[in-house]
Amino acid sequence: MTGLDDGNGGKQRVRLQGIEKRFLRTRALDGVSLDAGTGILGLLGPNGAGKTTLLRILATILAPDAGEVRLLGRNPSRSRDRLEIRRRLGYMPQEPGFHRNFTAFEFVDYVAILKEMTHRPRRHQEVRRALELSGLESVSGKKIRALSGGMRRRVALAQSLLGDPDLLILDEPTAGLDPEQRLRFRDMVSRLGEDRTIVVSTHQTEDVAALCQQVVVMNAGRVLLTGAPRDVAEVARGHVWLADGRDPRARLAWRTAEGRHRNIGDAPPGAELAEPTIEDGYLLLVGERAFSEAA
């Protein structure tokens, strides 16, 4: 990672220390700490792991109950700092809401106004740029209610790109996208991540492996592992083996395209060990919950 100045002389654009968040009796985040500089950071975890809560804290729309947050060298608990962060922030929520009687252009333009872009010609130029980056130039005049779910997610992505943000937070951005759209998305995010910080939450381990320089695996509000994608895969080294059939000792097994069974769990002595993937490591890290979700 190259790292850019965060405005305060440091290279860490996101710094969280001991973040805690509760919703009534539910502890959504329990002492989460992480640092991120320029590049793409992937958040992996099962449903309810606390990923969305963490992203909402990073997007300054939720305040933690305890812990320290520094974003772009500023403290979001101070209102002036929060305003400055918001001017340099892009956020795509997991379930974006729209005014469905707006066209894609009108909606992104509305968001641009809320982003304080009041100079109309320059704003329209920026809206066109964001729509083009998201591959929406051909449908920019269509009403949002007439767009497919995947297209709507791209509209949400387009609004997050307005103003060329230094910190981009994307919550499940590839959910509902078809394979071609996902590849286009990877290409775009990969280019954007060259000179800014992108935090992506996803269930797609392939996206993390393909895009992210850093991965944070979460479960039940805690960080289980922080490292490179290969570090996640390494967790499963020695725990993945191939066999001609489903091994009863395996916690999870499936038949591969070659007709053999890929087993994950505690490998028996003499087993034919396989090269682990990030998915294997993730499944072992997250444990029973991920196994039950995957099954």
Interactions with another protein, residue window 40-69 (CB under 8 A): 59-68
Residues 213-242 contacting another protein, CB under 8 A = 216, 222-228, 231-232, 234-235
For residues 218 and 201, give the distance between their C-alpha atoms in angstroms, rounded to a whole number: 10
Residues 188-207 contacting another protein, CB under 8 A = none
Q: Which is nearer to another protein, 129 or 260 (CB)?
A: 129
Pick the closest to residue 67 from 55, 52, 53, 77 (CA basis). Answer: 77
- 115 part of the interface to another protein, by CB under 8 A: yes
Q: DSSP letter string over 101-160?
A: TSBHHHHHHHHHHHTT---HHHHHHHHHHHHHHTT-GGGTTSBGGGS-HHHHHHHHHHHH
- 102 part of the interface to another protein, by CB under 8 A: yes
55: left (phi over 0), alpha (psi -120 to 50) or beta: alpha
- 76 part of the interface to another protein, by CB under 8 A: yes
For residues 283 and 63, give the distance between their C-alpha atoms in angstroms, rounded to a whole number: 30
* Shortest Cβ 156–another protein spacing (Å): 7
Contact stretch for another protein (CB under 8 A) within 10-18, 43-51, 134-142, 180-188 = 10-18
- Side chain identity, residue 273: L
Residues 164-183 contacting another protein, CB under 8 A = 164, 169
Contact stretch for another protein (CB under 8 A) within 99-107, 131-139, 186-194, 262-270 = 99-107
* Shortest Cβ 206–another protein spacing (Å): 19
271: left (phi over 0), alpha (psi -120 to 50) or beta: beta
Contact stretch for another protein (CB under 8 A) within 4-12, 80-88, 244-252, 266-274 = 80-88
How many residues belong to the site for another protein (CB under 8 A)? 75
**3-state SS, residue 12:** coil
* Shortest Cβ 268–another protein spacing (Å): 22
